[in-house]
C-alpha cells in the first residue's frame, strides 16, 4: 500500500476570533492511502474546509500532527487544491490559467496548447480560452479552477465543494470525470454536502459531527469504479443502501 498520502493524528484546530477561540475541528485521526478517494461530508461549519486547509498546508493544526506526502504540509507543493471559491490568476486568460498549470506540471511547451484545449473541452469551456477570467460567469470560473487542478495531475488533490455552483448536467459530467482521477498512486480528498455525490464519488465516506468536527462515520464504499455506467450505478440497490447509511449519520447529527 505504501506510505499514506495523508496522516492526521490527534489533530485539532481552533481559530482565534478576537479574544475568543473557536474550536473548529477535532480531535481526529484520519489516514488517506494512495489510490483512495475520500469524501468528507458534514454540516455547515463542521470544519470541512479547515480540514482541507490543514492538509493543504494553509493552516497548522493547534494540536496533533498532520503529515502529508511523508512530511509537514507545505502550501502549494505537490498538492492540488480546488477551493470553495475559484481562485484564478486574474492577469491571465482562461486558457492561460490552464497553460500555466501545465507548465508547472512539467508538460512540454509543444504539448500545452493541445492539452489546454482538451482540458477546457472536458469542463465544457472549449470556446472560452481567450476570455479574461472576469469575463466568464462564477460557475465557469469554477470549471476553469477544476480544469487547472486536473492539468497539474497532483499526487493528492483536495476539492472543497467544487461543483456547488454548477448546473445538474455539468455536475454529473464532472463527477464522472473526477471519479476516475485516482489510480494506484494518486488520491483525492473531496468535501461535499451532497450525500448522493459522496456515495457516487467515494471509496470511503467520512461524516463529521457538528463543530468541532469529529469523525462520526467512516464508511467504505465498495462500488465498482469502472465498467458500470453511471446511471446504472446510481440506480443500484447497493448505492441506495450506502446512501441510506450516510444520510442516517447526517440526520443523527442534525437531531
Ligand atoms: N478564519 C477564521 N476565523 C475564525 N473562525 C473561523 C475561521 N474560519 C472558519 N472559522 C469557523 O470554524 C468553523 C469551521 O469552519 P469551516 O469553514 O471549516 O466549516 P465548513 O465545514 O467548511 O462549513 P461550510 O460547509 O459552510 O463550508 C466554523 O464555525 C467557522 O465559523
Ligand atoms: Mg467549507
Query: What percent of the chain is predicted at pLDDT more than 90?
Result: 72
- C-beta of residue 239 within 8 angstroms of C-beta of residue 195: no
For residue 46, give the ligand 1 atom closest to its CA. Answer: 21
Q: Which whole number is the average pLDDT over 147-165?
A: 90
Tell me the per-residue pLDDT of 6-39, one tens digit each, with 9 for 90 and over: 999 999 999 998 999 999 999 999 999 999 999 9
Confidence of residue 147 (pLDDT cuts 50, 70, 90): very high
Cβ–ligand 1 distance for 46 under 6 Å, the answer yes
Distance CA 118, CA 113 (A): 9
Mutational pocket test of ligand 1: of 12, 13, 14, 15, the residue with most ligand atoms within 8 Å of the beta carbon: 15
Cβ–ligand 1 distance for 164 under 6 Å, the answer no
pLDDT at 1: 57
**What φ, ψ does residue 65 adopt, rounded to 5°?**
-130, 135
Confidence of residue 180 (pLDDT cuts 50, 70, 90): confident
User: What are the grid coordinates assigned to 27, written together?
Assistant: 480531535
Mutational pocket test of ligand 1: of 48, 164, 198, the residue with most ligand atoms within 8 Å of the beta carbon: 48
236 CB-side CA count, 13 A: 15
Confidence of residue 212 (pLDDT cuts 50, 70, 90): very high
Residue-range domains of the chain with CATH = 6-78+154-254 (3.40.50.300), 88-153 (no CATH)
- Residue 159 makes CB contacts below 8 A (sequence gap 6+) with 81, 82, 146, 149, 178, 188, 189, 190, 191
Amino acid at each position: 500500500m505504501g506510505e499514506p498520502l495523508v496522516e492526521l493524528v490527534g489533530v485539532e484546530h481552533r481559530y482565534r476570533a478576537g479574544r475568543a477561540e473557536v474550536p473548529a475541528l477535532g480531535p481526529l485521526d484520519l489516514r488517506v492511502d494512495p489510490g483512495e478517494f475520500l469524501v468528507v461530508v458534514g454540516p455547515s461549519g463542521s470544519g470541512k474546509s479547515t480540514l482541507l486547509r490543514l492538509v493543504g498546508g494553509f493552516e497548522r493544526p493547534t494540536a496533533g500532527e498532520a503529515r502529508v506526502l511523508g512530511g509537514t504540509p507545505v502550501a502549494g507543493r505537490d498538492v492540488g487544491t480546488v477551493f470553495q471559491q475559484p481562485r484564478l490568476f486574474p492577469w491571465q486568460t482562461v486558457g492561460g490559467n490552464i497553460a500555466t498549470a501545465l507548465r508547472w506540471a512539467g508538460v512540454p511547451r509543444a504539448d500545452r496548447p493541445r492539452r489546454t484545449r482538451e482540458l477546457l473541452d472536458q469542463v465544457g469551456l472549449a470556446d472560452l480560452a481567450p476570455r479574461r477570467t472576469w469575463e466568464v460567469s462564477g460557475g465557469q470560473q469554477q470549471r476553469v479552477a477544476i480544469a487547472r487542478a486536473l492539468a497539474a495531475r497532483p499526487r493528492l488533490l483536495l476539492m472543497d465543494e467544487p461543483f456547488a455552483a454548477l448546473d445538474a448536467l455539468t455536475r454529473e459530467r464532472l463527477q464522472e470525470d473526477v471519479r476516475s482521477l485516482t489510480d494506484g498512486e494518486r488520491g483525492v480528498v473531496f468535501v461535499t454536502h451532497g450525500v448522493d455525490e459522496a456515495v457516487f464519488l467515494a471509496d470511503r465516506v467520512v461524516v463529521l459531527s457538528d463543530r468541532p468536527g469529529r469523525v462520526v462515520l467512516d464508511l467504505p464504499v465498495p462500488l465498482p469504479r469502472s465498467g458500470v455506467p453511471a446511471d446504472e450505478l446510481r440506480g443500484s440497490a447497493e448505492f441506495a443502501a450506502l446512501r441510506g447509511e450516510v444520510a442516517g449519520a447526517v440526520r443523527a447529527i442534525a437531531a
